Every structure is written in structure tokens, then in C-alpha cells.
A and B are shown apart, each in its own frame.
Chain A
């Protein structure tokens, strides 16, 4: 246990917690006996991959079992009160008043029908801690402390009128509304861009310090947890792997699993360079402007080249036009002006006007493998359909080709040939997405945030696979991502986009060395590092009022 908290009063004590989930008509264990001790004012980081049970433990700390789960064994003692035996109304009295919750997606967790400040005031008014006007006044003060713009006015907006990073801070303010003893932060910055994440992290850290609130900070991002937590607990499949004070955990992890988590970004593909013989690029985007129907321009004079066999990473925040560029290249969104060349030949702007061979050239792999694969269609057909369409294969030839493709993506054909997507894990689904793109035998594939929905270990597997396929098949990738660590590991060239414009581009080694365009600089310096002092240092360098959205003006 962290020395600083040894003498403090224990706020939350969980002993041998077991939680079961209902699936396929039986109760299966999700949490298999976890202990947890939290002192007043302590911040505990819970990390692990998805399915490790982090969120379930977070909810259990509030005496809450999500629908379809139940707390089957163990004790949860919050400030002397045993939550597992307390009545539902006793437990409810704690929620919002003494234990508060900050959810992953603030955009989805604010009720779209009510103003922010009304949702903020709900708990204090309900618990008769404050009158409505007092609660609103308090909200405005908290908004100001969390450095939200127009703190006296922003609360009277509806959630959809406020940006994601601001909503996440408003939600932190809401959790503070009754000055709870404990706040559960459930992946509060996972859905945010790095440049926005940093200001939310700073805001959360400050306010937790100021009110000496204890917190459980749940995340899968090690660098983030290093900034926030006093103590880190690593979970794997519902069991504790190890726990130690932050600095010790980072410098000297004991368990193999923890070490593998720490080492996950070690993968690095050697950088390739453009051919010097003056040959045409494979794909050339030239001065493209584009807009969605009736909307404002989302792409403004975008130009870059992709040479055969190379990986071009396109980075930028959400809304910067990365995916729109991909839609222009595939012909889904005809540009307003400018053109796309393939091996020196202009491609027709609309996919409908392209020949089969031109269509073959631009294949896509999507971010959400879950929604990009039809759940009612067998794997054999998902992969077989493009092989049939582009390769004209039938019967046993087609089956052989599908087997070959499954081998390529390292899935056993015998086992996967006739299965359906819902039976597969996230990483396996993404592999099927890759096989589907490969089935067309393209020379160029657009990877749209293909690893951002995956756990780090699984994501690394996908990156290695893509890299191997590139070497074997000579593929060129346009790699859309907002994750600069991914860029570091596999890109050859980098294109930085902001507000629909290309602000900087060049080979990777140059792009990661100063001097940068100020925006590139902002992006790079916003990526959290493992050093627990990183956030403090960055804030000192930039000044608290010059981070995130404020820095972006």
C-alpha cells in the first residue's frame, strides 16, 4: 500500500468479491474473488483489457449490479456500511450523494432531453442537500473550476449542444454536485481525442485533489492511469494480477502479464522510403475539396501521394476529415473539385462509374468490425463474395481461395469456414475484415481506425498481421488513426490533418523530430506518456489555460 495513505481512514473495503453474469441460461463467474482497499483521498487505478471486469467492480463499489449480473459472494464495506446486505433503498441513498459515477461516454450518459444544469441539480435537490438555485450556483462554480467556457451559461444548454470534452468535464462536475467521498471514473477519456483528453485529465486531477475525494479510476490506457492514480491494480479475466504504488508498478512490474502490457508498444516496423526512380504513385490525391450534401466544406485542398508497398498514416482529431478523404478515394463521396489518380490514371469520381478493376484497387477495413460484418452471413460467404465478384471464382476454386485467405489471417479454415461473426472475438472479427479486403486482391487498402476498438494486446496482433501481409503481398496502406503510438509502430509516411486541411506531411522519421507545425506539435505532446510526472510537466510547459480546445485556436 502507498505509504501516503497508510494512516488514513479506510473508506472502501472489498473482500473476496465474486460476481456472476447470466449468459446462455446459466450463471457464469465474471469476477472471481477480488480484494480492494481504498483510503480516504486515495486514487486507485484499475487497469486491464476489456472483459477483465474493471467496470463491473466499479459498479459493485456502488453496491450496483448491472442488469444480468449479480453479486454472489464477498463483502463490500463502504464507510462502515455493508452494501451486500443493505436494502436496495439504503444502497440507493448512497449513490449520487456519497459515491458518484462518471461514465465512459458523456455524450451517451447525459439525458438528451434535459439541460445539463438540471441534470446536475437532480441529485442535490433530491437528497435535499441544496435548494435548486443553490445547486445551480454551485454547478456554475464547478464549471468554472473545471475551466469550461462560459461557466454561467453552458449549463443551460442541452447535451447535444456541447462538445465531447466539455460534456466529460460537466459530468465530472455533476459527480461532484453532492461532494461525494468516492467517485468511480469509468474510462472517462477513452472516447476523446488526445488533445481533448489532456484537459479533461487535468480537470479531473485538480478537482479530486481539491476536495480530497477518493476515486477508482478505470481505464485500459496505462499512460493515463499513471498520471491519475496513487496505486494501480491490474486485472485479468476477473482476477487480480498485482497491485502496487504507481511509480513502483511502472518501474518494476512483477508479473509476466503486467510486463507484456507494458511492452505492448515495442512493435516497430522498419521504415520504408519512396522509390527514387520517378515512378508514379499508386494513389495520388490531388487538391481535393469535398462536402456532404448541403453542408459546409469538410475537405479543403487535400493532396498527398501513396507509393506502392508503403504505409501512409493519416492522423488528426475526429472531424478533421480523415475518413472523408477515404470516402473520396473509394468513390463513395465524389469530390467537389480536384481528382484522385491511380497509377497516373484519373479515377472516375463516383464508384458507380468505376470499372471492376478500379474498384478492386480501393478496399476498406473498418473501425467497428462488429458492425462492418453482417451477423447473419457465414464467414465463408463474407470472404467468398468479393473473391467471386472480383476473381470470378466458383465451386471448389472459391472454397480453396477462402481457405487460403483464412490461412493468411492466421485463422484455421476448418474451424472458422462456416461460422457466423457473432461467435468470434473482436480481434478475430477484425481479421475477417482484413481477409475480406484481401479477397479482392488489391494493391491498396484503406485501414480506418482498425485497432482503436481493440485491446492493446489484440491490436498489436492486428498490426503485426497487417505488417506481415504488406511484406508478403506488397500492399500499400492508407492508415487512418488518431493514435500516435500506432503511427510510430507501422507508418512510413505521415499526413497530419486538421479542420479538413493537410497541415504537415512527410516521412515518419522527420515527422517525429522537431521542428513541427504547431498543430503537429500539439498532437504529439498531448499523447500521454508512462512517466507519472508527464501531465504535470506538460501543464507547466503549456500553462493550464493553454491546453486542449483552448490551445487549438
Chain B
């Protein structure tokens, strides 16, 4: 197991380096704006004095790299500074929103991942049958429609025509867990429809890809029934690509949900980011970007580790 621990630590180190590089990009992208932050925030109409006052308040007179390390040091301890618009601490503004996004993402993931993998297994088992074709056409059409369009369609049918679910997923603190699940059902369903196709098709492709392997033929020639050939002989060897696609889709569930949040007026981090960009609230934009980057890197790291752990050659060295 020593080898695997070392491998994981190495990947973790690489992930940290990547986050550092991203943090440099995020920070200095803002520096690249014409003029400076103070100018950009206050706009064309600001007087010289207000701009100067703002500069002093933000400490812009100090060199950029000093401010970068200041910012990075703060970010490492969870302190992303203060919002330029509301004056609220960025960490407080974000934490609640991020928790909402994580909740919605987990809700969608818990339903989408098992369904996609099951569908993938079944379409591989009954490949080229009507079931396979229908499943493929359905998932492909949901992935080809823009997610806001899907969202509105769902609202039309499940909230307006049949009033089963609320169209607006606003939250309040006194809701029970069940109410919460009910309230966020439509945004969850939209997300599930968007991510299922990728994962299902990758599971199907990864399994079918292995069906030509000699060990699959061997399993068949041992009299193993078809479902067992797929589940016991193909699937355990197909995890690596499946895990990678699952991780990418989980990352999407966290970082790519802006439109869905807007459609359902859901108070997630995506909406916060869009608002902050519109209001030029740079500390919030930077913090959101860094969180998104970290999410991506962590999930990919998890996928790498997952692929390693499912590979018997690495798990049981000679």
C-alpha cells in the first residue's frame, strides 16, 4: 500500500500546485483591467477624490505581488476580504450560497449517478435493441437541449399544467428536509437530465469496449449468463473511464449551474457570481473562481485516486 499512498500524496501535491497557478491567474486577470479596480468599480462618473479614497481603502498603492500574497494568505485561512458592494465579509456572503449549491449538486448526483450507471449497464446488456435506442435517444435529446429550456419545459408541465412541484426554488430556514427536497425537485431534475447522458453513454461505451476482450469470451465459454458477464467481468474493469466522467459531471453540477439557478431563482453560488460580475464586486468574483477551481481539481484528484484504487495491478503489486 506504500506505493499507493505515495502516488496519492504526489497527486495531492500536484493539485496544490495547480490551485496556486490558478490563483495567480485569477488575481492578475483582475490587474489586467484597464485602469485599476477602483476605477472599474466606481465607473466613469467618479470624481478623482472618491477614486483616490477607494484606492487607499483597498491598498492599491502597494505593489501587486505584495497584495497577491496578502490575498493568498487570507484565502488560505478562509478570509477573502470584504465585498465592495455590501461591505459584508466575502466568506460569509459565499458560505451560505455555496452550501446551497452543494446541497443541490449532491441531491442531483445521488439520483443521477446510480441511474446513469444502471442505464449504462442495461444499454450495454441489451445493446442494439429497442430499449438501447430509446434510452440513447432520450438522454441525447435532454443533453442537446439548453438547460434553461429544459427547466422551463419542466416548469410548464410539472409546475403549471400539473401543480406538483413549485416553480420557484426559494429557500427559507424553517423548512423541513422533505420540504426542501420537494422545493428543489425541479432544478434537481433539470440537472439530472443534463448530466445523465454523459455518464450513461460512457458506462455503455466502456463496457462494450471490453466485450471483445479474451477474458469476456472466456467468461461466456464458462457458461456465465449475460448479465453476470457484464456486471462481474466487464464492469470491474471499466471503472476508470466511468469514474472520470462522473467526476467531470459532478464538477459541472457545482460550477456550471448558473443558468439553472437563475431559472428557478435558487440562491446558489452561481447566482452570486453573476450578480458580483454585474456589480464588479471583485473580491467575490475572485473567491468564487478560486472555489470553482478547487472543486474541479479536488474532484479530478478523487477520480484519479478512484481509478488507481480500481486497478488491481496497482492495488496488488507483484
Cβ-defined contact, B214 with A95, below 8 A:
no
B214 touches A108 (CB 8 A): yes
Is B236 positioned at the interface, with any CB of A under 8 Å from its CB?
yes
Residues from chain A with a CB closer than 8 A to the CB of B313 are 112, 158, 160
Chain B residues with CB under 8 Å of A64's CB are 220-221
Let me know if A188 is at the binding interface, CB within 8 A. no
Contact B224 A126 (CB under 8 A): yes
From known contacts A67-B212, A158-B316, A160-B312, infer whether A127 and B218 are also in contact, taking CB-CB under 8 Å.
Answer: no
Could you give, for residues 207-224 of chain B, a 1 whenever the CB lies within 8 Å of some chain A CB and a 0 otherwise? Answer: 000011111011111111
Instruction: For residue B221, give the distance in angstroms from its CB to the closest CB of chain A.
Output: 4
* A62 to chain B: closest residue by CB: B221
The answer to whether A101 and B223 touch across the interface, beta carbons within 8 angstroms, is no
Over the window 98-109 of chain A, the binary record of Cβ atoms lying under 8 Å from chain B Cβ atoms (1 yes, 0 no) is 001101110011
Contact with B along A133-166 (1 / 0, CB 8 A): 0000000000000000000000001101100000
Known A111-B233, A112-B237, A113-B237; contact A101-B214, beta-carbon cutoff 8 A: no
Asked if B225 is at the interface of the complex by the 8 Å CB criterion, the answer is yes
Q: Once the chains bind, are A161 and B318 in contact (CB under 8 Å)?
A: yes
Asked if A109 contacts B215 (CB within 8 A), the reply is: yes
CA distance in complex: A110, B217 (Å): 10
A 67-108 binary contact with B (CB < 8 Å = 1; else 0): 100000000000000000000000011111100110111001
Q: A109-B214, A110-B215, A112-B312 are in contact. Are A95 and B221 (CB under 8 A)?
A: yes
A13: which B residues are within 8 A, CB to CB? Answer: none
Interface string of B184-224 (1 = CB under 8 A from A): 00000000000000000000000000011111011111111
Q: Quick one: which of A95, A114, A157 contacts B222, CB cutoff 8 A?
A: A95
Closest to A58 in B: B221
* CB contact between A111 and one of B221, B223, B237 (< 8 Å): that residue: B237
The answer to the question of A122 belonging to the interface, with a C-beta cut-off of 8 Å to chain B, is: yes
Could you say which of B211, B225, B316 contacts A92, with CB atoms under 8 Å apart? B225
Q: Are A112 and B223 in contact (CB under 8 A)?
A: no
Tell yes or no: A487 within 8 A of B by CB.
Answer: no
Contact between chains at A108 and B312 (CB < 8 Å) = no
| Cβ-defined contact, A96 with B215, below 8 A | no
Q: Are B316 and A161 in contact (CB under 8 A)?
A: yes
Does chain B have a CB within 8 A of A394? no
- Asked whether, in the complex, the Cβ of A123 is within 8 Å of the Cβ of B218, the reply is no
Contact indicator B312/A96 (Cβ below 8 Å): no
With contact pairs A126-B223, A126-B224 given, residues A103 and B217 touching in the complex (Cβ less than 8 Å):
yes
Residue among B215, B222, B224 with the most chain A CB within 10 A? Answer: B222
User: What residue of chain A has the Cβ atom nearest to residue B233's Cβ?
Assistant: A111
Nearest B residue to A175 via CB reads B222
Beta-carbon contact of B223 and A103 below 8 Å: no
Q: Which residue of A lies closest to B212 (CB)?
A: A67
Give the distance in Å from the alpha carbon of A126 to the alpha carbon of B313 in the complex.
Answer: 27
A113 and B236 contact, Cβ closer than 8 Å, known pairs A92-B225, A108-B214, A158-B312: yes
Q: Is A66 an interface residue (CB 8 A)?
A: yes
Taken together as a complex, chains A and B put the C-alpha atoms of A435 and B223 apart, in Å, by 47
Residues of A contacting B212 with CB < 8 Å?
67
Contacts of B220 in A (CB 8 A): 64, 95
- Chain B residues with Cβ under 8 A from A161's Cβ? 316, 318
How many chain B residues touch the partner (CB < 8 A)? 22
User: Is A112 within 8 A of B316, CB to CB?
Assistant: no
Whether the Cβ atoms of A109 and B217 lie closer than 8 Å is yes
Is B312's CB under 8 angstroms from A101's CB?
Answer: no
**Nearest-Cβ distance from residue A65 to partner chain B, whole angstroms:** 11
Q: Is the CB of A109 within 8 A of B218?
A: yes
**Chain B, Cβ-Cβ closest to A161:** B318
Total A-B pairs, Cβ < 8 A: 76
Q: Which residues of A contact B236 (CB under 8 A)?
A: 111, 113-114
Chain B nearest CB from A126 CB (Å) reads: 7
Chain B, residues 230-261, CB within 8 Å of chain A (1/0): the string is: 00110011000000000000000000000000
Are B224 and A122 in touch, CB under 8 angstroms? yes
B3 to chain A, nearest CB (A): 13
The distance from the CB of B230 to the nearest CB of chain A, in whole angstroms, is: 12
Q: Which residues of A contact B312 (CB under 8 A)?
A: 112-113, 158, 160
Complex contacts, B316 vs chain A, CB 8 Å: 157-158, 160-161
| Given A109-B217, A111-B215, CB of A92 within 8 Å of CB of B318 | no
Cα–Cα, bound, A242→B223 (Å): 32
State whether A103 touches B237 (Cβ < 8 A).
Answer: no
A114: chain B residues at CB < 8 Å are 232, 236
Tell me the smallest distance from the CB of A508 to a CB of chain B, in Å: 37
- What are the residues of chain B within 8 A of A111 when measuring CB–CB? 215, 218-219, 233, 236-237
- Contact among B215, B233, B318 for A108, CB-based, below 8 A: B215
Residues of the B chain whose Cβ atoms lie less than 8 Å from the Cβ of A100: 221-222
CA A217 to CA B304, docked complex, whole Å: 44
| B228 CB to nearest chain A CB (Å) | 8
Question: In the complex the two chains form, what is the Cα distance from A96 to B219 in whole Å?
Answer: 9
Question: Using Cβ atoms and an 8 Å threshold, which residues of chain B touch A174?
Answer: 222
Report A218-250 CB contacts with B as 1/0, cut-off 8 Å.
000000000000000000000000000000000
Set of chain A residues within 8 Å of B218, measured between Cβ atoms: 101, 103, 109-111
Smallest beta-carbon distance A454→chain B, Å: 21
Q: Are B223 and A127 closer than 8 Å at their CB atoms?
A: yes
A135 and B224 CA atoms in complex are apart in Å by 16
> How far apart are A176's CB and chain B's nearest CB, in angstroms?
12
Smallest beta-carbon distance B119→chain A, Å: 22
Bound form: Cα–Cα A104–B236 in Å: 23
In whole angstroms, what is the CA distance A48 to B214 when docked? 22
| Pair A96/B318 contact, Cβ less than 8 Å | no
Q: Which residues of B contact A160 (CB under 8 A)?
A: 312-313, 316, 318
Contacting pair A123 B215 (CB below 8 A): no
User: Across the interface, which residues of A come within 8 angstroms of B233, CB to CB?
Assistant: 111, 113
Contact string, B117-158, partner A, CB cutoff 8 A, digits 1/0?
A: 000000000000000000000000000000000000000000
Which residues on B sit within 8 Å (CB–CB) of A158? 312-313, 316
CB atoms of B214 and A122 under 8 A apart = no
Chain A: CB-nearest residue to B219: A111
Q: Bound state CA distance, A110 and B215, in angstroms? A: 5
- Which residue of the partner chain A has the closest CB to B213? A108
Mask, B160-203, CB within 8 Å of A = 1, is 00000000000000000000000000000000000000000000
Inter-chain CA distance A100–B220, complex, in Å, is: 11
**Residue of B with least CB distance to A67:** B212
A277 CB to nearest chain B CB (Å): 51
Name A162-183 residues within 8 Å CB distance of B.
Answer: 174
Question: B223 — which chain A residues lie within 8 A by C-beta?
Answer: 92-97, 123, 126-127
Known pairs A94-B223, A111-B219, A112-B312; A103 contacts B214 (CB<8 A) = yes
Q: Which residues of A contact B232 (CB under 8 A)?
A: 114
Q: How far is the CA of A113 from the CA of B312 in the complex (A)?
A: 6
Given contact pairs A103-B214, A111-B219, enumerate 4 new A-B contacts (beta carbons under 8 Å).
A100-B221, A108-B215, A112-B312, A158-B312
Enumerate 21 A-B pairs (CB-CB under 8 Å) in ascending A order: A64-B220, A64-B221, A67-B211, A67-B212, A94-B223, A95-B220, A96-B222, A96-B223, A97-B223, A104-B214, A109-B214, A109-B215, A111-B215, A111-B236, A113-B237, A114-B232, A122-B224, A123-B222, A126-B223, A158-B316, A174-B222
Which chain B residues have a beta carbon within 8 Å of chain A's beta carbons?
211-215, 217-225, 232-233, 236-237, 312-313, 316, 318
**Residues of A with Cβ closer than 8 Å to B?**
59, 62, 64, 66-67, 92-97, 100-101, 103-105, 108-114, 122-123, 126-127, 157-158, 160-161, 174
Q: Which 7 A-B pairs have the closest CB atoms?
A: A96-B223, A96-B222, A113-B236, A95-B223, A101-B221, A108-B214, A109-B214
